[in-house]
């Protein structure tokens, strides 16, 4: 284990009971979105020189891997990939609509694996959904423990609004208006067997 790899025991939240409401993105649309985002990364950074990609566990890592594959097809260069767990850096807990803390499952080990030096790099930080901004704030704190990047750019598949912190994404798959009682769920073929983005109503159980 080097200084860029750490592990810890992290609490895992249960998935909230929910009711399907709408399909936001289907598999072809998801693939087109990834292709567009890959091209935007290349254009904004005038290539991929000095770029590294760090996905926030869990789905952010899978999204990042897909983007790296897209970029490699275009630029014939593979961007280094790291994974980041932010649980111990968070400043909030998960609550349901009645203000009651959600039940937590048995703890499991989550791994942060950044097998490269971040100093002076342009880091593309990847997550599936941008909501309050607290996960991203935690990710930024975590990244600073691993080095001093020249720049950090944020990429998300969905920006659903309701920010509690002054954080914005540089690359966005889709912006949409949601209510606090709704949840956006990004499905990935590598995790869920299908690529899709669904909007669900969260049910208090």
**Per-residue CA distances from 7 to 91, 105, 114 (Å):** 19, 19, 11
pLDDT, one tens digit for every residue, the chain (205 residues)? 334 554 443 344 446 688 999 999 999 999 999 999 999 999 999 999 999 999 999 999 999 999 999 999 999 999 999 999 998 887 754 444 444 444 434 334 368 999 999 999 999 999 999 999 999 999 999 999 999 999 999 999 999 999 999 999 999 999 999 998 999 999 999 999 999 999 999 887 5
How many independent structural domains does the chain possess?
1
Please report, for residues 13, 115, 187, 188, the alpha-carbon distance to residue 196 in angstroms, rounded to integers and kept in the order given: 22, 30, 5, 7
Element (H, E) at 128: strand 122-130
CATH number of residue 187's parent domain: 3.40.50.2020
Q: How far, in Å, CA of 18 to CA of 35, rounded? A: 30
Tell me the residue range of the domain where 84 lies: 5-202
pTM of the model: 0.85
Do residues 93 and 101 make contact, with C-beta atoms less than 8 angstroms apart?
yes
For residue 158, what is the enclosing H or E element? strand 151-159
Strands (E) located in 70-121: 81-84, 104-113
Distance CA 118, CA 4 (A): 9
- Report the pLDDT value the prediction gives residue 43, as an integer from 0 to 100: 98
The secondary structure of residue 44, as a DSSP letter, is H
Q: Which residue has the tokens 């694996």?
A: 113
């Amino acid at each position: 284990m080097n200084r860029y790899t750490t592990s810890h025991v992290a609490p895992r939240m249960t998935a909230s009971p929910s009711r399907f409401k709408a399909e936001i993105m289907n598999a072809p649309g998801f693939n087109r979105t990834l292709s567009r985002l890959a091209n935007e990364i290349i254009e904004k950074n005038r290539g991929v020189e000095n770029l590294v990609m760090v996905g926030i566990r869990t789905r952010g890592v899978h999204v990042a891997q897909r983007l790296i594959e897209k970029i490699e097809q275009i630029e014939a260069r593979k961007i280094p990939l790291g994974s980041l767990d932010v649980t111990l850096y968070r400043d909030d807990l998960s609550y349901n609509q009645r203000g009651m803390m959600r039940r937590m499952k048995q703890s499991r080990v989550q791994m942060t694996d950044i097998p490269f030096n971040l100093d002076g790099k342009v880091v593309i930080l990847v997550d599936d959904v941008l909501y309050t901004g607290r996960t991203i704030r935690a990710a930024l704190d975590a990244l600073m423990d691993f080095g001093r990047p020249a720049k950090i750019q944020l990429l998300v598949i969905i920006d659903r609004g309701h920010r509690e912190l002054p954080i914005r994404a540089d690359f966005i798959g889709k912006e949409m208006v949601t209510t606090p009682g709704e949840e956006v769920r990004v499905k990935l073929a590598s995790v869920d067997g299908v690529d899709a983005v669904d909007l669900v109503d969260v049910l208090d159980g």
